[in-house]
Amino acid sequence: MRPVLAIETSCDETAAAVLDGDGVVLAEAVLSQRDHAAFGGVVPEIAARAHLAHLPGMVAEVMARAGLGFDGLEAVAASSGPGLIGGLIVGSGFAKGVAMARGIRFLGINHLEAHALTARLTHGIAFPYLLLLVSGGHCQCLAIEGVGQYRRLGGTIDDAVGEAFDKVGKLLGLGWPGGPAVERLAASGDPARFALPRPLLGRAGCDFSFSGLKTAVAHLVAAYPAGPLPAQDAADIARAFQDAVAAVMADRARHALAMVPAARTLVVAGGVAANTAIRLALEKVAGAAGLDFVAPPLRLCGDNAVMVAWAAIERLRLGVSNSLDQAPRPRWPLDGADMRVPAAPTA
């Protein structure tokens, strides 16, 4: 298979990557939210204009670094949902333009599928496996049974876990992003000082809920006079919060493992996987059940185009590509019938 060019513009990041047919990264680039913010203070995630401004130059750059012209490509792929419609239109429109102009195949990739398959690129793991996808915007647990065969076992019924970290960080007076700041603060916190609720702990299934936990933190903080919290109190609250999240995640993962006895690996992906306490809690759950534990490198846990190219390669290997009239979809559940690979071969 010849190389594949992929584009990611579904949310904050503008990204492009070229992978060869075996999944070797020939070139990649990611322009993060922060880099965007330098360009005129436009809110990047809703600024399709920012994607549009940076994408053509970025694609030219990765193609040059890969030493390729468009004619040397097998296919061109773009994240086509779920996400913010402006960015999705820019990314998939660009990819379709290249595909049409050069007569090569196009793939509109589900962004969540790209996250779901990344561990196969980085660790070569076999189906089926369990995926916890935990980030600022995503919080779900999936059985990954084959390319296009995804079973949603549970997800958040309110806030995503990364969102809870960001909001608790805000309540504690920390900077953005909240996740790393809360973790740093929690390191010096007393785990026995405050008791916070552990939503859905022990409940059947593997749904998550973090809204009540956030509210409990807000309630603790409201008891203090206005202004910065005493440093030790803030650290103790951060620790109690992080411990509650880790306990809930471990409990939910245990339930998920029981729901998919055939799974041999537990994969955690998404920005929240950067939290050491949570990663250790999940690793312990996997170990106790005799499963391997895999966390792809953080660089590939955030939004990137390498994962989109890899998902395209997995689909191309099964003979799948998409027509140019495939529309971007702001909402696109991973367990829908349209994810299925036609005449699905055995995994």
Partner 1 sequence: MAESEITLHDLDATAGLAAVLAGKVRPGAVVLLEGPLGAGKTAFARAFLRALTGDPGLDVPSPTFTLVQSYDTPRGPVHHLDLWRLPGPQGLDELGWDELLRDIVLVEWPDRLGPYLPQGALGLRLSILDAQTRRAGLIGWTA
Which positions touch partner 1 (CB under 8 A)? 11, 41-43, 45-49, 82-86, 136-137, 155-160, 162-163, 166-167, 170-171, 211, 214-219, 222, 330-331
Tokens of 287: 């170990």
How near is the Cβ of 140 to partner 1 at its closest, in Å? 10
CB 133 within 8 A of CB 119: no
CB 4 within 8 A of CB 41: no
**Which residue's CB is nearer to partner 1, number 72 or number 137?**
137
How near is the Cβ of 105 to partner 1 at its closest, in Å? 29
**Which residue's CB is nearer to partner 1, number 41 or number 290?**
41
How near is the Cβ of 89 to partner 1 at its closest, in Å? 11
Residue 300's Cβ-count burial label (10 Å; 0-12, 13-18, 19+) is: buried
Render the burial of 29-55: b for 16+ CB within 10 Å, e for the rest: bbbebeebeeeeeeebbebbebbbbbb
What is the rounded distance in angstroms from the CA atom of residue 256 to the CA atom of residue 144? 12
How near is the Cβ of 69 to partner 1 at its closest, in Å? 33
**3-class DSSP state of 274:** helix
Q: H or E element: which one contains 235?
A: helix 231-259
Q: What letter represents residue 158's amino acid?
A: D
CB 166 within 8 A of CB 217: no
How near is the Cβ of 202 to partner 1 at its closest, in Å? 20
**Which residue's CB is nearer to partner 1, number 51 or number 120?**
51
Backbone angles phi, psi at 248, to 5 degrees: -65, -45
How near is the Cβ of 217 to partner 1 at its closest, in Å? 7
What is the rounded distance in angstroms from the CA atom of residue 289 to the CA atom of residue 266? 10
How near is the Cβ of 46 to partner 1 at its closest, in Å? 5
How near is the Cβ of 167 to partner 1 at its closest, in Å? 5
Nearest partner of 292 among 283, 301, 300, judged by Cα: 283
Q: What letter represents residue 247's amino acid?
A: A
**3-class DSSP state of 110:** strand
**Which residue's CB is nearer to partner 1, number 254 or number 329?**
329
Q: What letter represents residue 226's amino acid?
A: A
What is the rounded distance in angstroms from the CA atom of residue 164 to the CA atom of residue 168? 6
